[in-house]
Amino acid sequence: MKISGKTFIVTGGTGGLASDAARMLLAEGASVGLFDVVPTETGDAFAQSLSGEGKAIYVKVDITDSAAVKVAVRLVSDKLHNLAGCVHCAGISLKRPLSNVVAESIGNFEKMLKVNTVGTFIVNAQVADEINRPLNFPDGSDKPGPFWTSDEERGVIVNLASAASRPYARTLAYGPTKAAVVGITEAMADFLGPSGIRVASISPSIIMSPLNAGLGGFFTDDLLKHAIFPRAPIGSEQISSTIKWIIETGAINATNIFVDGGWKMVVTKPGIEGGKDPRESWPGVE
Ligand SMILES: NC(=O)c1ccc[n+]([C@@H]2O[C@H](COP(=O)([O-])OP(=O)(O)OC[C@H]3O[C@@H](n4cnc5c(N)ncnc54)[C@H](O)[C@@H]3O)[C@@H](O)[C@H]2O)c1
Protein backbone atom coordinates (compact mmCIF):
# COMPACT_ATOMS: atom_id res chain seq x y z
CA MET A 1 0.00 0.00 0.00
CA LYS A 2 1.20 3.47 -0.84
CA ILE A 3 1.43 5.49 2.41
CA SER A 4 1.10 8.95 0.89
CA GLY A 5 -2.38 10.43 1.08
CA LYS A 6 -3.68 7.83 3.58
CA THR A 7 -4.63 8.22 7.25
CA PHE A 8 -3.37 5.88 9.95
CA ILE A 9 -4.33 5.67 13.60
CA VAL A 10 -1.29 5.34 15.86
CA THR A 11 -2.18 4.10 19.33
CA GLY A 12 0.01 4.82 22.34
CA GLY A 13 0.65 7.80 20.10
CA THR A 14 2.89 9.85 22.39
CA GLY A 15 5.04 6.86 23.46
CA GLY A 16 8.51 5.87 22.30
CA LEU A 17 7.79 3.60 19.33
CA ALA A 18 4.55 5.29 18.32
CA SER A 19 6.00 8.78 18.07
CA ASP A 20 8.76 7.52 15.80
CA ALA A 21 6.21 5.60 13.69
CA ALA A 22 4.03 8.73 13.45
CA ARG A 23 7.03 10.78 12.25
CA MET A 24 7.76 8.16 9.59
CA LEU A 25 4.14 8.11 8.37
CA LEU A 26 3.98 11.91 8.21
CA ALA A 27 7.32 12.06 6.36
CA GLU A 28 5.86 9.61 3.81
CA GLY A 29 2.88 11.92 3.24
CA ALA A 30 0.21 10.33 5.46
CA SER A 31 -1.98 11.90 8.15
CA VAL A 32 -2.09 10.41 11.65
CA GLY A 33 -4.61 10.19 14.47
CA LEU A 34 -2.75 9.68 17.74
CA PHE A 35 -4.58 7.80 20.53
CA ASP A 36 -3.21 7.88 24.07
CA VAL A 37 -4.28 8.47 27.66
CA VAL A 38 -2.05 11.51 28.32
CA PRO A 39 -3.94 14.78 29.00
CA THR A 40 -5.45 16.48 25.95
CA GLU A 41 -3.20 19.57 26.24
CA THR A 42 -0.07 17.36 26.25
CA GLY A 43 -1.32 15.26 23.33
CA ASP A 44 -2.45 18.29 21.31
CA ALA A 45 0.92 19.99 21.81
CA PHE A 46 2.68 16.79 20.75
CA ALA A 47 0.51 16.45 17.63
CA GLN A 48 1.19 20.10 16.79
CA SER A 49 4.94 19.52 17.19
CA LEU A 50 4.73 16.67 14.66
CA SER A 51 2.74 18.58 12.07
CA GLY A 52 1.90 22.26 12.09
CA GLU A 53 -0.37 21.66 9.07
CA GLY A 54 -3.03 19.72 10.99
CA LYS A 55 -1.95 16.35 9.54
CA ALA A 56 -1.55 14.95 13.07
CA ILE A 57 -4.39 15.10 15.57
CA TYR A 58 -4.55 13.77 19.12
CA VAL A 59 -7.53 12.00 20.70
CA LYS A 60 -7.44 11.11 24.39
CA VAL A 61 -8.92 7.63 24.51
CA ASP A 62 -8.38 4.51 26.58
CA ILE A 63 -8.00 1.58 24.16
CA THR A 64 -9.75 -0.78 26.59
CA ASP A 65 -13.01 1.20 26.18
CA SER A 66 -14.52 -0.19 22.98
CA ALA A 67 -17.31 2.40 22.65
CA ALA A 68 -14.85 5.28 23.17
CA VAL A 69 -12.42 3.78 20.62
CA LYS A 70 -15.25 3.50 18.09
CA VAL A 71 -16.09 7.21 18.52
CA ALA A 72 -12.39 8.19 18.34
CA VAL A 73 -11.79 6.17 15.17
CA ARG A 74 -14.85 7.74 13.49
CA LEU A 75 -13.65 11.20 14.50
CA VAL A 76 -10.22 10.65 12.91
CA SER A 77 -11.78 9.14 9.80
CA ASP A 78 -14.18 12.10 9.41
CA LYS A 79 -11.51 14.75 10.02
CA LEU A 80 -8.53 13.34 8.13
CA HIS A 81 -10.26 11.09 5.51
CA ASN A 82 -8.87 8.01 3.69
CA LEU A 83 -8.51 5.88 6.83
CA ALA A 84 -6.29 2.99 5.73
CA GLY A 85 -5.23 1.27 8.93
CA CYS A 86 -3.42 1.57 12.19
CA VAL A 87 -0.12 1.08 13.94
CA HIS A 88 -1.11 -0.26 17.32
CA CYS A 89 1.61 0.55 19.88
CA ALA A 90 -0.36 1.18 23.09
CA GLY A 91 0.69 -1.29 25.75
CA ILE A 92 1.95 -1.63 29.31
CA SER A 93 4.64 -3.65 31.05
CA LEU A 94 4.20 -3.82 34.81
CA LYS A 95 7.13 -4.51 37.12
CA ARG A 96 7.38 -5.52 40.76
CA PRO A 97 9.69 -7.40 43.09
CA LEU A 98 8.91 -11.08 42.44
CA SER A 99 8.67 -13.84 45.02
CA ASN A 100 8.26 -17.59 44.55
CA VAL A 101 4.48 -17.32 45.09
CA VAL A 102 3.12 -17.46 41.56
CA ALA A 103 -0.36 -16.29 42.54
CA GLU A 104 1.10 -12.88 43.41
CA SER A 105 1.33 -12.31 39.65
CA ILE A 106 -2.39 -12.72 38.98
CA GLY A 107 -3.30 -9.07 39.57
CA ASN A 108 -0.72 -7.70 37.14
CA PHE A 109 -1.56 -10.42 34.61
CA GLU A 110 -5.19 -9.29 34.63
CA LYS A 111 -4.22 -5.64 34.18
CA MET A 112 -1.83 -6.36 31.28
CA LEU A 113 -4.30 -8.77 29.68
CA LYS A 114 -6.86 -5.97 29.59
CA VAL A 115 -4.60 -3.36 27.98
CA ASN A 116 -2.24 -5.48 25.87
CA THR A 117 -4.64 -8.17 24.71
CA VAL A 118 -8.25 -6.98 24.97
CA GLY A 119 -7.09 -3.51 23.86
CA THR A 120 -5.49 -5.01 20.76
CA PHE A 121 -8.68 -6.84 19.82
CA ILE A 122 -10.73 -3.66 20.32
CA VAL A 123 -8.40 -1.43 18.26
CA ASN A 124 -8.14 -3.96 15.41
CA ALA A 125 -11.91 -4.46 15.35
CA GLN A 126 -12.91 -0.80 15.50
CA VAL A 127 -10.37 0.30 12.88
CA ALA A 128 -11.37 -2.50 10.48
CA ASP A 129 -15.08 -1.84 11.04
CA GLU A 130 -14.63 1.86 10.25
CA ILE A 131 -12.69 1.08 7.05
CA ASN A 132 -15.39 -1.41 6.05
CA ARG A 133 -18.40 0.63 7.24
CA PRO A 134 -19.67 1.78 3.82
CA LEU A 135 -19.64 -1.81 2.50
CA ASN A 136 -20.84 -3.46 5.73
CA PHE A 137 -23.90 -1.20 5.90
CA PRO A 138 -24.75 -0.65 2.23
CA ASP A 139 -28.25 0.72 2.86
CA GLY A 140 -27.11 3.16 5.56
CA SER A 141 -29.11 1.41 8.31
CA ASP A 142 -27.70 -0.15 11.52
CA LYS A 143 -28.23 -3.66 10.15
CA PRO A 144 -25.11 -5.28 8.62
CA GLY A 145 -25.60 -6.29 4.99
CA PRO A 146 -24.47 -9.60 3.45
CA PHE A 147 -20.82 -10.73 3.44
CA TRP A 148 -18.81 -9.24 0.60
CA THR A 149 -15.32 -9.72 -0.84
CA SER A 150 -12.82 -7.27 -2.30
CA ASP A 151 -9.76 -7.90 -4.48
CA GLU A 152 -8.54 -4.39 -3.76
CA GLU A 153 -6.05 -3.63 -0.95
CA ARG A 154 -8.15 -1.56 1.46
CA GLY A 155 -6.22 -1.45 4.73
CA VAL A 156 -3.21 -2.50 6.81
CA ILE A 157 -3.04 -3.07 10.57
CA VAL A 158 0.34 -3.42 12.30
CA ASN A 159 0.32 -4.65 15.91
CA LEU A 160 3.22 -4.41 18.36
CA ALA A 161 3.77 -7.76 20.07
CA SER A 162 7.19 -8.46 21.67
CA ALA A 163 10.17 -10.82 21.71
CA ALA A 164 8.48 -11.94 24.95
CA SER A 165 5.60 -13.33 22.87
CA ARG A 166 7.53 -16.59 22.62
CA PRO A 167 5.70 -18.88 25.02
CA TYR A 168 8.92 -19.82 26.83
CA ALA A 169 10.26 -16.28 27.28
CA ARG A 170 10.92 -15.43 30.92
CA THR A 171 8.13 -12.98 31.41
CA LEU A 172 5.47 -14.75 33.37
CA ALA A 173 2.54 -12.40 32.86
CA TYR A 174 3.55 -9.87 30.13
CA GLY A 175 4.73 -12.65 27.76
CA PRO A 176 1.37 -14.43 27.43
CA THR A 177 -0.46 -11.14 26.89
CA LYS A 178 1.86 -10.55 23.91
CA ALA A 179 1.60 -14.15 22.64
CA ALA A 180 -2.11 -13.41 22.40
CA VAL A 181 -1.35 -10.34 20.28
CA VAL A 182 0.29 -12.69 17.75
CA GLY A 183 -2.81 -14.88 17.90
CA ILE A 184 -5.14 -11.92 17.39
CA THR A 185 -3.00 -10.79 14.44
CA GLU A 186 -3.37 -14.14 12.68
CA ALA A 187 -7.08 -14.46 13.42
CA MET A 188 -7.83 -10.88 12.33
CA ALA A 189 -5.78 -11.34 9.14
CA ASP A 190 -7.80 -14.44 8.33
CA PHE A 191 -11.14 -12.76 9.01
CA LEU A 192 -10.33 -9.46 7.32
CA GLY A 193 -8.53 -10.85 4.27
CA PRO A 194 -11.75 -11.11 2.23
CA SER A 195 -12.27 -7.36 2.73
CA GLY A 196 -8.75 -6.52 1.52
CA ILE A 197 -7.27 -5.67 4.93
CA ARG A 198 -3.88 -7.13 5.93
CA VAL A 199 -2.76 -7.63 9.55
CA ALA A 200 0.79 -8.31 10.76
CA SER A 201 2.70 -7.93 14.03
CA ILE A 202 6.22 -6.95 15.01
CA SER A 203 8.13 -8.43 17.95
CA PRO A 204 10.99 -6.17 19.04
CA SER A 205 13.66 -7.09 21.59
CA ILE A 206 14.45 -4.08 23.78
CA ILE A 207 14.11 -0.43 22.86
CA MET A 208 15.09 2.17 25.43
CA SER A 209 11.68 3.83 25.79
CA PRO A 210 9.59 4.92 28.82
CA LEU A 211 8.11 1.37 28.86
CA ASN A 212 11.42 0.08 30.19
CA ALA A 213 11.95 2.75 32.83
CA GLY A 214 13.20 1.06 36.00
CA LEU A 215 13.74 -2.29 34.28
CA GLY A 216 16.20 -4.48 36.19
CA GLY A 217 19.35 -5.56 34.36
CA PHE A 218 18.41 -9.19 33.72
CA PHE A 219 16.93 -8.78 30.26
CA THR A 220 19.40 -6.20 28.98
CA ASP A 221 22.33 -8.31 30.28
CA ASP A 222 20.88 -11.40 28.60
CA LEU A 223 20.38 -9.46 25.36
CA LEU A 224 24.00 -8.29 25.39
CA LYS A 225 25.22 -11.84 25.97
CA HIS A 226 22.89 -13.87 23.83
CA ALA A 227 21.50 -11.90 20.91
CA ILE A 228 23.21 -13.20 17.78
CA PHE A 229 23.75 -9.77 16.22
CA PRO A 230 23.40 -6.94 16.97
CA ARG A 231 24.00 -7.64 20.68
CA ALA A 232 22.43 -4.40 21.87
CA PRO A 233 19.06 -2.74 22.37
CA ILE A 234 17.58 -1.64 19.06
CA GLY A 235 16.49 1.83 17.96
CA SER A 236 12.83 2.74 17.47
CA GLU A 237 13.72 3.78 13.88
CA GLN A 238 14.34 0.08 13.16
CA ILE A 239 10.75 -0.60 14.17
CA SER A 240 9.47 2.31 12.05
CA SER A 241 11.31 1.03 8.98
CA THR A 242 9.76 -2.41 9.59
CA ILE A 243 6.30 -0.80 9.87
CA LYS A 244 6.91 1.06 6.57
CA TRP A 245 8.03 -2.16 4.91
CA ILE A 246 4.94 -4.06 6.12
CA ILE A 247 2.59 -1.33 4.88
CA GLU A 248 4.30 -1.01 1.51
CA THR A 249 4.87 -4.72 0.83
CA GLY A 250 1.50 -6.02 -0.21
CA ALA A 251 2.23 -9.72 0.39
CA ILE A 252 3.10 -9.39 4.11
CA ASN A 253 0.10 -10.77 5.98
CA ALA A 254 -0.83 -12.91 9.01
CA THR A 255 2.75 -13.01 10.24
CA ASN A 256 4.83 -11.94 13.24
CA ILE A 257 8.21 -10.38 12.47
CA PHE A 258 10.95 -10.54 15.10
CA VAL A 259 13.22 -7.49 15.16
CA ASP A 260 15.49 -8.82 17.87
CA GLY A 261 19.00 -9.55 16.60
CA GLY A 262 18.22 -13.26 16.91
CA TRP A 263 17.80 -13.03 20.70
CA LYS A 264 15.71 -15.89 22.12
CA MET A 265 15.37 -14.65 25.72
CA VAL A 266 15.96 -18.17 27.02
CA VAL A 267 19.65 -18.85 26.78
CA THR A 268 20.83 -17.84 30.22
CA LYS A 269 19.89 -20.45 32.81
CA PRO A 270 20.13 -19.71 36.52
CA GLY A 271 23.41 -21.09 37.88
CA ILE A 272 24.73 -22.02 34.41
CA GLU A 273 27.25 -19.84 32.52
CA GLY A 274 27.05 -17.43 35.44
CA GLY A 275 23.39 -16.94 34.58
CA LYS A 276 21.33 -14.88 36.96
CA ASP A 277 17.95 -16.01 38.16
CA PRO A 278 15.33 -13.85 36.42
CA ARG A 279 13.11 -14.13 39.49
CA GLU A 280 15.69 -12.20 41.45
CA SER A 281 16.06 -9.30 39.00
CA TRP A 282 14.92 -6.08 40.58
CA PRO A 283 12.34 -4.97 39.85
CA GLY A 284 11.15 -8.15 38.16
CA VAL A 285 9.29 -8.07 34.90
CA GLU A 286 5.97 -9.74 35.41
N1 LIG B 1 10.19 -0.76 24.42
C2 LIG B 1 10.45 -2.05 24.27
O3 LIG B 1 11.54 -2.54 24.62
C4 LIG B 1 9.43 -2.97 23.68
C5 LIG B 1 9.83 -4.25 23.35
C6 LIG B 1 8.88 -5.13 22.81
C7 LIG B 1 7.59 -4.71 22.60
N8 LIG B 1 7.23 -3.44 22.94
C9 LIG B 1 5.82 -3.06 22.72
O10 LIG B 1 5.78 -1.95 21.84
C11 LIG B 1 4.67 -1.10 22.18
C12 LIG B 1 5.17 0.32 22.37
O13 LIG B 1 6.13 0.34 23.40
P14 LIG B 1 6.93 1.65 23.81
O15 LIG B 1 8.28 1.21 24.20
O16 LIG B 1 6.75 2.70 22.78
O17 LIG B 1 6.15 2.04 25.14
P18 LIG B 1 5.81 3.47 25.76
O19 LIG B 1 5.55 3.23 27.21
O20 LIG B 1 6.86 4.47 25.37
O21 LIG B 1 4.46 3.85 25.01
C22 LIG B 1 3.24 3.17 25.26
C23 LIG B 1 2.13 4.22 25.16
O24 LIG B 1 0.89 3.56 25.34
C25 LIG B 1 0.04 4.42 26.09
N26 LIG B 1 -1.01 3.64 26.72
C27 LIG B 1 -0.88 2.78 27.78
N28 LIG B 1 -2.07 2.29 28.12
C29 LIG B 1 -2.98 2.83 27.26
C30 LIG B 1 -4.39 2.71 27.11
N31 LIG B 1 -5.12 1.92 27.93
N32 LIG B 1 -4.99 3.42 26.14
C33 LIG B 1 -4.26 4.21 25.31
N34 LIG B 1 -2.94 4.38 25.40
C35 LIG B 1 -2.31 3.69 26.38
C36 LIG B 1 1.00 5.07 27.09
O37 LIG B 1 0.45 6.26 27.64
C38 LIG B 1 2.23 5.30 26.25
O39 LIG B 1 2.27 6.58 25.65
C40 LIG B 1 4.04 -1.72 23.44
O41 LIG B 1 2.93 -2.49 23.06
C42 LIG B 1 5.14 -2.60 24.00
O43 LIG B 1 4.62 -3.66 24.75
C44 LIG B 1 8.12 -2.56 23.46
pLDDT of residue 281: 59
Question: Alpha helices, DSSP H only, in the chain?
Answer: 16-27, 40-50, 66-80, 106-112, 119-136, 174-192, 217-226, 236-248
69 — phi, psi (to 5°)? -65, -40
Q: CB neighbours of 77 closer than 8 A, spacing ≥ 6?
A: 7, 83, 130
CA end-to-end span of the chain, whole Å? 37
Query: How crowded is residue 5: how many other Cβ atoms within 10 Å of its Cβ?
Result: 12
What is the 204 CA–ligand 1 centroid distance (Å)?
Answer: 12
Atom of ligand 1 nearest to the CA of 164: 6
Question: Alpha helices, DSSP H only, in 10-118?
Answer: 16-27, 40-50, 66-80, 106-112
pLDDT of residue 274: 59
Q: How far apart are CA 183 and CA 185, in angstroms?
A: 5
The stretch 35-48 carries a mean pLDDT of 98
Cβ 94 under 6 angstroms from ligand 1: no
Look at residue 65 and tell me whether its pLDDT is greater than 60: yes
Summarised one tens digit per residue, pLDDT across range 234-273 is 999 999 999 999 999 999 999 999 999 998 776 556 555 5
Q: Position 33: which residue type?
A: G
Q: How far apart are CA 87 and CA 101, in angstroms?
A: 36
Categorise residue 82: left if φ over 0, alpha if ψ from -120 to 50, beta otherwise. left
Nearest to 43 by CA among 91, 11, 75: 11
209, 219, 222, 260, best to mutate for ligand 1 pocket (most atoms within 8 Å of CB): 209
What is the 163 CA–ligand 1 centroid distance (Å)?
Answer: 14
Question: Does residue 138 or residue 12 have the better pLDDT?
Answer: 12
Atom of ligand 1 nearest to the CA of 204: 6
Confidence of residue 189 (pLDDT cuts 50, 70, 90): very high
Return the domain boundaries, the chain.
7-285
Q: CB neighbours of 43 closer than 8 A, spacing ≥ 6?
A: 13, 14, 34, 36, 58, 59, 60
Look at residue 159 and tell me whether its pLDDT is greater than 90: yes
7-285: which CATH number, 2.60.40.10, 3.40.50.970, 3.50.50.60, 3.40.50.720?
3.40.50.720
What is the 267 CA–ligand 1 centroid distance (Å)?
Answer: 26
Nearest to 253 by CA among 212, 204, 210, 196: 196
Summarised one tens digit per residue, pLDDT across range 194-238 is 999 999 999 999 998 888 877 767 778 778 888 899 988 899 999
Q: Position 50: which residue type?
A: L
Atom of ligand 1 nearest to the CA of 38: 37
Cβ 17 under 6 angstroms from ligand 1: yes
Q: Position 94: which residue type?
A: L
Summarised one tens digit per residue, pLDDT across range 2-29 is 999 999 999 999 999 999 999 999 999 9
